[in-house]
Amino acid sequence: MGQSTSSFKDGLMEAIPNLRAFAKSLIKNADKADDLVQETVLKAWAKQDLFEKGTNINAWLFTILRNEFYNLMRKRGREVQDSEGIYCNNIAIHPAQYGSLDLHDFRVALNLLPDDQREAIILVGASGFSYEEAAAICGCALGTIKSRVSRARLRLQELLDMDGHYHYGPDVSSAHIALRSFA
C-alpha cells in the first residue's frame, strides 16, 4: 500500500462518523444509514483515483453519499412494497403470445374474404370511417357497404370459429388471470 493510498484510507476512516451522522439525518433509520455509508465508502474506494489530492475529502465523500441517497430514493419510488404478494397476485395479465397468435389467425381470415368485403370491413372496422364515408370511398350505395360489412363480420366469425362473445379476450385457460385482476 503506497503513501497516497494510506493517506486516502486515513481520510476515509476519519470521515465515517460524520458520514454516518449525515446519513442518519437523511434516512432516519440507523441500519439503512449504515448501509448508505457502506455504499459510499465502497464507491469512494473504487473511485479513489478520481479524488484530487489536496482537495477536501469530506466534501467529496459527502457528495458521493448524497448522490447515493438520491439514487436510493429514485429506486424506492419505482419499487412497490409487497411482502405478502397481494399486489403481485393482482397484476397478472393475459399472455402476450396469445394475442400474437390471434392476430395472425385474424390476418389469415381477413385475406380469405372477398376483396369488396375486406375493403368495407377495413374502412369501417379498422380505419374508423362511417358507413356513409366508406360508401363514398367505394363509390357504392350506403346499403351495399352495410351489407358488405355485415357479411364480412359473419364470415370472419365463421373462419375464426367464433360463435359467441366468450371468444373475445382471454381463452378459458387464462381467463381466471384476467378476471382476478378486476376482482
pLDDT in tens, 10-69: 999 999 999 999 999 888 889 999 999 999 999 999 999 999 888 899 999 999 999 999
pLDDT at 146: 95
What's the chain's average pLDDT?
83
For residue 175, is pLDDT > 60? no
- 98: which 3 cell numbers? 396469445
pLDDT at 179: 43
Print burial letters for 137-158: b (CB count within 10 Å at least 16), e (below 16): ebeeeeebbeebbebbeebbee
| CA 42/CA 177 separation, integer angstroms | 44
For residue 183, is pLDDT > 50? no
* DSSP character at residue 170: S
Angle at 139 between CA 133 and CA 145, to 5 degrees: 60
pLDDT at 95: 67
Angle at 120 between CA 137 and CA 133, to 5 degrees: 35
Domains of the chain: 8-82 (1.10.1740.10), 97-162 (1.10.10.10)
